[in-house]
Structure formats: C-alpha cells, structure tokens
Amino acid sequence: MHFGEHLTIDGYGGSKEKLNNKELVLECLNELPEQLGMHKLAEPVVYSAPNNDKKDPGGWSGFVVIAESHISIHTFPDNGFLSADVYTCKNGMDNEFILNYFKEKFDLQDIEHNFIKRGTRYSND
C-alpha cells in the first residue's frame, strides 16, 4: 500500500491552436476530476504565462485543487508541447485513460510519462 499516485505527462507535437486555447485548458481542469472519480475543492484557475526569453515561449498554466490532491496543465503552443501532472491520494489511477485523454484533447503526437507511487512508507495506523 502507498499513499498516492502521481502521473507526469509530457506531450509533443500538439496542435498549436488547441494548446493556445485557454478555454480548452479550463474545460480539461473542470471535467477530468469528475471523470476520474475525484472531487474539486475550488474552481480551476488558468493564467497566461508570458514568454521569459529563455526556453519558455509562453502559454497557459492551469491548476485545480481536488480533495484527493491536484491536477496541473502547462501549455507551450509555439513548441507544440504540454506538461501536466495528475496527483491523487487514491490508488489505482487509470493511467491509460489519462494519457489518451490528453492525447486526444490536444492532438499530441507523442507522450512521455512517469508514474510515481508516493508515500510508499506511509502508514495510517
């Protein structure tokens, strides 16, 4: 048994139009928790992240706090790149569903992901 699960997603070759769509990022943060059986504690927020003249060409950063932890999405439209995290204290997260969800929503051509079991020594005794 472990405390929770953390899925990190790096998506490549995505649609510039979709990655630059604030409303689509907000839609994902609104609907994904329910689809995963999780519960929003507050409404999601999405911010415009400006170009920092280094490796970050700017995009959208969004976050939703859920009872089970959080979901975040960062888009980089000019690079066709998305970075997302789904972290939950639940066990048995459906990773394939989540990966396909992001792939379809943003037309990602390739995905790297990491799955981390969090709190492997956590005890609720």
* Consecutive H or E run containing 22: helix 22-35
Cβ pair 117, 1 in contact under 8 A? no
CATH number of the structural domain 4-50+67-118 = 3.60.90.10
Query: Domain locations in the chain?
Result: 4-50+67-118
Specify the pLDDT at position 86.
Answer: 97
Instruction: Give the model's pLDDT for residue 56.
Output: 75
CA nearest 51: which of 76, 81, 23, 74? Answer: 76
pLDDT tens digit sequence for 24-67: 999 999 999 999 999 999 999 999 988 877 777 889 999 999 99
**Does position 17 have pLDDT exceeding 90, yes or no?**
yes
Question: Tens digit of pLDDT for each residue in 101-110?
Answer: 999 999 999 9
CA dist., res. 55 & res. 65, Å (int): 27
Integer Cα distance of 105 and 108 in angstroms? 8
Encoded tokens for 76: 């980089």
By annotation, the residues acting in catalysis are 69, 74, 89
Contact 117, 88 (CB under 8 A): no
From CA 111, how far away is CA 45, in angstroms rounded?
24
